[in-house]
């Protein structure tokens, strides 16, 4: 991506998406609704496309879909930082705060890794609803990293 | 259920399930996999049936499915405690720790409400895998309660 | 402070500090080490001065002191937003991640309120060590607000 | 303690207390108020004695003191499980929910380790106020473990 000195194994958004598709095809069972827009050293941006599976009566997006978006986005930022070595990272905890009820529109998750140690990564996720100003959810996720 | 002096509006597991089915039919889109086994004053027990949607390659249950189970189970315990007044409760935060990788078998969530105030309920969730001894996930969820 | 249209009851950092000193003198028992640097609509910045009570052998700041700093800073941002009506806010939950071991130097907490509803405020806290680039701790705190 | 087959390095409550006193004398600066009542394989029970430093006007115990009690108690349970190898464990995150305002009396924290892996321990803490029935606070703490 655009970091000053990318590691040799750094993958861009398209390449990460292709690799995840190959390894975890079930993520898209029922139709692709998670789209990696950007990924790189310690960051990622992922879009959740609104569709009948994640919208709810009254016109909102389900909390489960926001959890899935947050968890997946941190995973993408880890792979963007570590390359293929990041694929074996596993979620150890996730704390999510629901701040405002989103409309039934696409959501965008912006991830920043606050910590990327040898054993543990901690990512912060801000989720916004397309076309709206206020954050709709905020999450902190910890991932256990595979040891080299 | 079996509490000493149940409030008049207390609903049992079957009745809660029927009411939730009527209000939120989309929960079961793709097939019913959340089954309320017990519910009452400040507690609930809910089963997540393993199926192709929530199992993952290598034979495990997805973290997203465990989040959905935890969130739903606390909601059921709130309805078990408050009756229909609990239907408008909304999740304000959820913190989940993944403790061990479950096998691709049914999961059972046991909920205890640690706090049931006028404005906020806090529920603790212990998730076990069928036939295994150790807890596989633990969650704490806060719900904002509708004001009477 | 510097917001475009401050509410009539908005208090500045010095005034908030004086009011907190008057109401909670025990915060400074043993010596004043929490200093409000800025406060206003949905934000605050508070300094924790390193002193023998909060430093630890090997030259670091205790986790308890970082918790206290995070909790206090969100409280200050609530008062900066609501004025004296905020004094009765009480912490309902706090989630803190320790990211890096700080040196035994002053810490600065920057708070942004992610949500300021009628009943609940949610604040995000970033803690930095003086003179160092990386965040040393991150917290999310929820406060129950007094009802008018 | 009373586990069926204690590891050779298992320390009892008194021995853990003596070792912690020797390594971290500053914990008791201002007077000893944390007392280890029991510790063993994956559990601990610690008392926080009410004193002027941790009581607050109106007659309650400070949230900071409850955080400190929770954090310390999980640390004790790790040492009770791993022996002296546990001394280098460090808190990576702590999530605390304040459930009810305690009276200005002693608090007791009961810890159960939900996970004790090679790299990470997760402890659950229930805090009760002496002589009262309801839980006053609940915490989940993660500790990074030293690698052998």
CB B93 within 8 A of CB B82: no
Query: Which residues are within 8 A (CB) of C81 and not within 5 positions of it... i.e. 6 or more apart?
Result: C40, C41, C42, C113, C116, C121
Chain D neighbours (≥3 Cβ pairs under 8 A) are: A, B, C
* Interface residue ranges in chain A relative to chain C, Cβ cutoff 8 Å: 95, 97, 99-100, 114-115, 122, 124, 135, 138, 140, 142
Residue-level pLDDT at C57? 79
Tell me the chain D residues in contact with residue B95 when contact means C-beta distances shorter than 8 Å. 95, 140
Question: Could you give the maximum distance between any two Cα atoms of chain D, in Å?
Answer: 48
**Shortest Cα distance from B141 to chain C (angstroms)?**
11
ipTM of the complex: 0.91
Residue-level pLDDT at D58? 83
> How far apart, in whole angstroms, are the C-alpha atoms of residue C107 and residue C69?
9
Task: Work out the average pLDDT over C87-113.
Answer: 97
Phi then psi for residue D43, to 5 deg, are: -150, 165
> Which of A91, A92, A136, A146 to probe by mutation at the B interface, max B CB count within 10 Å?
A91
> Which parts of chain A register pLDDT below 50?
1-9
Query: Which residues are within 8 A (CB) of A129 and not within 5 positions of it... i.e. 6 or more apart?
Result: A61, A102, A103, A105, A106, A107, A136
A113 bridge partner residues = A123
Q: Do C115 and A124 touch (CB under 8 A)?
A: no
Task: Work out the average pLDDT over C107-124.
Answer: 97
> How far apart, in whole angstroms, are the C-alpha atoms of residue A74 and residue A78?
6
CA-based radius of gyration for chain C:
15
Percent of chain B with pLDDT over 90: 72
How distant is the alpha carbon of residue A100 from its chain centre?
Answer: 19
> How far apart, in whole angstroms, are the C-alpha atoms of residue A8 and residue A11?
9
> How far apart, in whole angstroms, are the C-alpha atoms of residue D77 and residue D32?
19
> Which of C117, C124, C125, C142 to probe by mutation at the A interface, max A CB count within 10 Å?
C124
Query: Which residues are within 8 A (CB) of D121 and not within 5 positions of it... i.e. 6 or more apart?
Result: D74, D78, D81, D89, D113, D115, D142, D143, D145
Q: Exposure string (b/e) for C67-100, b if CB count within 10 Å is 16 or more?
A: bbbbbbbbbbbbbbbbbeebbebebbbbbbbbbe
Residue-level pLDDT at C2? 45
Phi then psi for residue D34, to 5 deg, are: -110, 120
Residue-level pLDDT at C12? 87
B131: alpha, beta or left? (left if phi > 0; alpha if psi -120 to 50): left
Strands (E), chain C: 34-40, 43-48, 55-56, 60-61, 90-98, 107-116, 120-129, 135-144
Q: What is the pTM of this model?
A: 0.92
> How far apart, in whole angstroms, are the C-alpha atoms of residue C92 and residue C90?
6
Residue-level pLDDT at B30? 66
pLDDT band (50, 70, 90) for residue D123: very high
Q: Looking at the partner chain, which of C99, C122, C142 has a beta carbon nearest the beta carbon of A115?
A: C99
How distant is the alpha carbon of residue C128 from its chain centre?
Answer: 13
Q: Do B142 and C92 touch (CB under 8 A)?
A: yes
CB C73 within 8 A of CB A90: no
pLDDT in tens, B15-61: 999 988 888 877 776 678 999 999 999 999 999 999 988 988 789 99
pLDDT in tens, C21-76: 888 877 776 678 999 999 999 999 999 999 988 988 789 999 999 999 999 999 99
Mean of the per-residue pLDDT values of chain D: 89
How distant is the alpha carbon of residue D78 from its chain centre?
Answer: 9
pLDDT band (50, 70, 90) for residue B128: very high
Q: Is D91 helix (H, G, I), strand (E, B) or coil?
A: strand
Q: Give the CA count within 13 Å in the CB-facing half-sphere of B92.
A: 26
CB A141 within 8 A of CB A91: yes
Q: Hunting for tokens 């036939």 — which residue is that?
A: B131
């Amino acid at each position: 991506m655009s970091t000053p000195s990318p590691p040799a194994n750094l993958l861009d958004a398209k390449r990460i998406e292709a690799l995840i598709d190959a390894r975890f095809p079930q993520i898209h069972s029922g139709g692709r609704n998670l789209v990696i827009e950007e990924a790189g050293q310690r960051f990622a941006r992922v879009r959740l496309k609104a569709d009948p599976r994640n919208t709810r009566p009254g016109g909102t997006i389900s909390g489960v879909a926001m959890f899935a978006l947050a968890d997946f986005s941190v995973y993408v930022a880890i792979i963007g930082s570590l390359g293929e070595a990041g694929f074996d990272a596993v979620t150890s905890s996730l704390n999510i705060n629901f701040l405002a009820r989103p409309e039934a529109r696409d959501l965008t998750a912006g991830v920043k890794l606050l910590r990327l140690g040898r054993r543990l990564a901690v990512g912060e996720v801000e989720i916004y609803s397309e076309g709206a100003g206020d954050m709709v959810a905020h999450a902190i996720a910890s991932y256990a990293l595979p040891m080299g």
